[in-house]
Amino acid sequence: MEDKDKTKEELIEEIKVIKARLANLQDLENKYKSAELGLKKAKEELEIEAWGHAKTNEAIKYLYKELDKKNKELQTLDKLKTDFINIASHELRTPLTIIREGISQVLDGIHGQITPEQREFLSICLEDVDRLKRVVSDILDISKIEAGRFKLIKEQVDIVSLAKVVIASFYPKVKSMGLEMRENFCKQAAIAYVDKDSIIRVFINLISNALKFTDKGYIEISVRDKPTDIECSISDTGRGISEEDIPQVFGKFEQFGNTEMAKEKGTGLGLSIAKSIIELHQGDIWVKSILNKGTKFTFTLPKYIEKDMPEGEDIPGV
């Protein structure tokens, strides 16, 4: 009887175990079905995403094609603009030269005596012709720089001597304005390998800019001979530039401060051209200014760039 009872108890335990296993299997089946549904949903989402990516890639390809088309159109327009500026500038230079020569001859009395009133009027005309020639030159130069056609003819130049020559041309104007021109040069020659005419242009642009916005005080030109480069600066005691305007100083067609009060209006290209010329020489240029106290433009020129030196040319002091 005991054996039968034990067998019954064992059967009951086995039934419990089987039920537990069945419950586990049921739970596993539910989890499997849930996972299957999840996988099915994920597959559908991936298919939708893949379809979306395919459409996006098609759209990107289309956009790239359109962008390339617009870019080519812009290049064509830019070339037309450059060609127009070059042609217009060259066409303007010839009549301006003839007009200037004609006015100069009348002022010199070649075509007869003129009255003081006529002389004053013609002198104003001559100044305006010169200003217009500078405008034409600025536009032509900035166009060449942007097109990568601004050529540098480099040679060894003493920047101190060059600066002195430029300053001498400004003395009459500085004196007539009641300003002082100061010089702060190193004692020895400061030799750099540069395009002489371009660096003269930089000095002229920066000094002209200083004179334009300086009513009293002085303009100081400095040249320092440093170990690896020549550092030049043009300082003034003029109206200065506000802090928020400084980042745009070297932009094209930028004019700061009260331009109505400026002694001479320009194109707003002078500083941009100066910056481009210095960068073409692998130099650097920057500005510091305090509003109503003055401005200081500084630029550097590498002393020698051996890879640019013509073969057989000696470097002084080496």
Per-residue pLDDT of the chain (318 residues; tens, 9 = 90+): 445 555 777 777 778 778 878 778 888 878 888 888 888 888 888 888 888 888 888 888 888 888 888 888 887 877 766 666 667 666 777 888 888 899 989 888 888 888 989 989 888 898 888 888 888 888 888 878 877 878 899 999 999 999 999 999 999 889 999 999 999 999 899 999 999 999 999 999 999 999 999 999 999 999 999 988 999 999 999 999 988 888 888 887 666 554 455 455 556 788 999 999 999 999 999 999 999 899 999 999 998 755 555 544 444 433
Rounded Cα gap, residues 287 and 271, in angstroms: 11
> Residue 315 falls within a domain, yes or no?
no
Q: Do 162 and 291 fall into the same domain? A: yes
The per-residue DSSP string of 222-274 comes to EEEE-SSEEEEEEEE-S----TTTGGGTTSTT---S-TTT-SS---S-HHHHH
Q: Do 37 and 141 fall into the same domain? A: yes
Residue that terminates a domain, selected from 150, 169, 184: 150
> Residue 32 falls within a domain, yes or no?
yes
Q: Do 17 and 141 fall into the same domain? A: yes
Give the per-residue pLDDT at 202: 95
Q: In the Cβ-directed half-sphere of 262, how many Cα atoms lie within 13 Å?
A: 18
Q: Do 55 and 169 fall into the same domain? A: no
Assessment of whether the complete model's pTM goes beyond 0.75 = no
Residue that terminates a domain, selected from 124, 150, 176: 150
Phi, psi dihedrals of residue 190, rounded to the nearest 5°? -115, 95
Residue that terminates a domain, selected from 150, 176, 198: 150
> Residue 318 falls within a domain, yes or no?
no
Q: Do 180 and 145 fall into the same domain? A: no
> Residue 314 falls within a domain, yes or no?
no
Q: In the Cβ-directed half-sphere of 204, how many Cα atoms lie within 13 Å?
A: 15
Helices 196-212 and 159-176: angle between axes, nearest 10 degrees: 30
Range of the domain at 242: 154-308
261-286 residue pLDDT tens: 545 555 678 899 999 999 999 999 99
Q: Do 197 and 116 fall into the same domain? A: no
Number of domains in the chain: 2
109-154 residue pLDDT tens: 888 888 989 989 888 898 888 888 888 888 888 878 877 878 899 9
Query: Looking at residue 271, which CATH number applies to its domain?
Result: 3.30.565.10
Q: 3-state DSSP call for residue 189? A: coil
> Residue 33 falls within a domain, yes or no?
yes
